[in-house]
């Protein structure tokens, strides 16, 4: 690993919380695709599989920001452990219900409960921000975390789909739940690097609560969330359609490898992007990244076999990490420090909503017209992301006064050092 990345871990405790974050984020790439694989094997219904995966994502979209808001107020340990326990109980219900063929509504209830899983990526990035706020190292840290996310998506689908197809259908989601439990409880045991909570303050005027507004009141954050809702539909569509395309080709297990190649492209780009320093406005780079992601979906409409699909997805993956890294930097410009975790989670929420819509829409298209037609869903989603990005671009050029994770310092480094 290049030396700038090694230098990140000079801070005490950084290795441990980063390792816990990696394990705890594996379910991010395993659970949704694991549910699709499990249900499609047990029932053969891709529409149901996509709808259940969408339910997990939508529930996470609703619960995630609220969990992160509580984390900002009360700390990671006090909030993450009970939230994770609820998600694990719901995962156990899903596995039992799927195995014994219980009614569909039970599956949906269980998937809604799984959505209470906390956003581990936001928790880890908040710890890095507490360590390196206002320095060039924070850009490198965000780049490293983007690579960690991508590595989860390299190995997660392979493990989840591989276990579910080679062992038993429930194996992938089961292991995802185990990773979640280990990662969250290990992370929350590390108190020294936990960011200080920012409880709401009460004034003397009747005990009125102040500082309780949501991070989503920021116009710039609204643009990022809306754009990434469309971007999430790309990811959700690609996941479900690729599994179906591989099955139609007679090699369903190969879907995990193809999806891993997609994440590998993002991983390679993220590693390189973290070593770069940029001049100029980061919002321009962000919009360029959104456009690149959209254009990269067009070749998927022409795929005829799995090797071509793998190459096309690798190229498409090159645009993901740089766009995500730049997004995290923009969040620091548009939300207060006391709401940083919530702000990061709102972007994840936008992605989750998009994943839900993309998964459900692609499942319906597959059932109606076949897998190749399903790639029209991510292509249309990419076009929507570009339109939303252009419409909201002006808001990103005006960071709100007094906002940002490091007021007074962040602005000095942003133009030169942070993408």
> Residue 97: which of 57, 63, 64, 48 has the closest Cα?
48
Six-digit token string for 54: 């969408």
What is the structure's pLDDT at 406? 38
CATH level 2 (architecture), domain 14-191+214-417: Up-down Bundle (1.20)
Report the alpha-carbon angle 228-331-183, nearest 5.
80
What is the structure's pLDDT at 396? 76
Six-digit token string for 187: 């992370």
> In whole angstroms, what is the distance from residue 173 CA to residue 36 CA?
10
> In whole angstroms, what is the distance from residue 260 CA to residue 378 CA?
17
What is the structure's pLDDT at 64? 81
What is the structure's pLDDT at 143? 80
What is the structure's pLDDT at 393? 83
What is the structure's pLDDT at 418? 30
Q: How far apart are the first and last CA of the chain?
A: 20
What is the structure's pLDDT at 200? 61
> Residue 215: which of 305, 340, 124 has the closest Cα?
340
What is the structure's pLDDT at 202? 47
Which run of H or E residues covers position 13?
Answer: none
Asked if residue 364 lies in contact with residue 241, where contact means CB atoms within 8 angstroms, the answer is: no
Domain regions of the chain by residue span? 14-191+214-417
Burial letters for 30-44: b for 16+ Cβ neighbours within 10 Å, e otherwise?
bbbbbbbbbbbbbbe
> In whole angstroms, what is the distance from residue 186 CA to residue 14 CA?
13
What is the structure's pLDDT at 111? 92
Q: In Å, what is the CA distance from 416 to each residue of 224, 276, 277, 322, 412?
A: 22, 10, 6, 16, 8
The pLDDT profile of the chain, 419 residues, written as one tens digit per residue, is 446 778 888 888 899 999 999 999 888 778 887 888 888 888 877 778 878 887 887 788 788 888 888 888 888 988 999 999 999 999 999 999 988 989 989 999 999 999 888 888 889 988 988 888 778 788 788 888 877 877 777 677 778 878 888 888 888 899 999 999 999 999 999 988 888 887 765 444 444 444 456 776 777 788 888 898 898 889 888 888 888 888 888 887 788 788 888 888 888 888 788 777 766 677 888 889 899 999 999 998 888 788 899 999 999 989 988 888 888 778 877 777 777 777 777 887 787 778 778 877 888 888 888 888 888 999 999 999 999 999 888 877 665 554 444 333 333 333 333 32
> In whole angstroms, what is the distance from residue 147 CA to residue 124 CA?
13
Asked if residue 150 lies in contact with residue 264, where contact means CB atoms within 8 angstroms, the answer is: yes
């Amino acid at each position: 690993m290049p030396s700038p990345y090694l230098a990140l871990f000079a801070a005490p405790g950084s290795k441990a919380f980063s390792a816990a974050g990696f394990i705890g984020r594996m379910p991010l790439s395993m659970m949704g695709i694991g549910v699709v694989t499990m249900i499609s094997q047990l029932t053969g219904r891709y529409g149901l599989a996509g709808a259940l995966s969408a339910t997990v994502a939508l529930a996470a979209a609703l619960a995630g920001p609220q969990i992160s808001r509580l984390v900002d107020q009360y700390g990671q340990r006090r909030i993450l452990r009970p939230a994770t326990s609820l998600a694990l109980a719901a995962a156990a219900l899903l596995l039992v219900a799927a195995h014994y063929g219980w009614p569909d509504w039970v599956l949906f209830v269980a998937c809604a409960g799984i959505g209470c899983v906390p956003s581990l990526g936001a928790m880890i990035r908040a710890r890095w921000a507490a360590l390196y706020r206002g320095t060039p190292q924070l850009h490198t840290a965000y780049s490293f975390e983007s690579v960690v996310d991508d590595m989860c998506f390299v190995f997660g689908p392979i493990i989840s789909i591989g276990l579910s197809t080679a062992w038993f259908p429930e194996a992938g989601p089961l292991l995802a739940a185990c990773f979640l439990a280990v990662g969250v409880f290990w992370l929350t045991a590390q108190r020294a690097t936990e960011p200080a909570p920012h409880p709401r303050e009460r004034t003397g005027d009747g005990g009125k609560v102040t500082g309780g507004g949501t991070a989503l009141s920021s116009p710039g954050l609204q643009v990022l969330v809306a754009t990434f809702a469309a971007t999430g539909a790309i990811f959700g569509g690609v996941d479900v359609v690729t599994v179906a395309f591989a099955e139609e080709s007679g090699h369903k297990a190969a879907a995990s490898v193809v999806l891993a190649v997609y994440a590998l492209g993002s991983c390679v780009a993220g590693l390189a992007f973290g070593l770069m320093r940029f001049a100029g406005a980061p919002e321009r780079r962000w919009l360029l990244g959104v456009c690149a992601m959209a254009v990269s979906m067009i070749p998927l409409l022409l795929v005829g076999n799995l090797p071509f699909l793998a190459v096309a997805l690798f190229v498409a993956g090159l645009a993901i990490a740089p766009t995500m890294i730049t997004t995290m930097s923009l969040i620091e410009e548009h939300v207060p420090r006391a709401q940083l975790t919530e702000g990061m989670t709102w972007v994840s929420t936008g992605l989750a909503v998009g994943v839900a819509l993309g998964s459900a829409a692609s499942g319906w298209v597959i059932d109606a017209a076949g897998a190749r037609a399903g790639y029209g869903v991510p292509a249309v989603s990419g076009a929507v992301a570009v339109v939303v990005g252009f419409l909201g671009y002006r808001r990103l050029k005006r960071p709100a006064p007094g906002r940002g994770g490091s007021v007074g310092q962040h602005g000095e480094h942003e133009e030169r050092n942070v993408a």
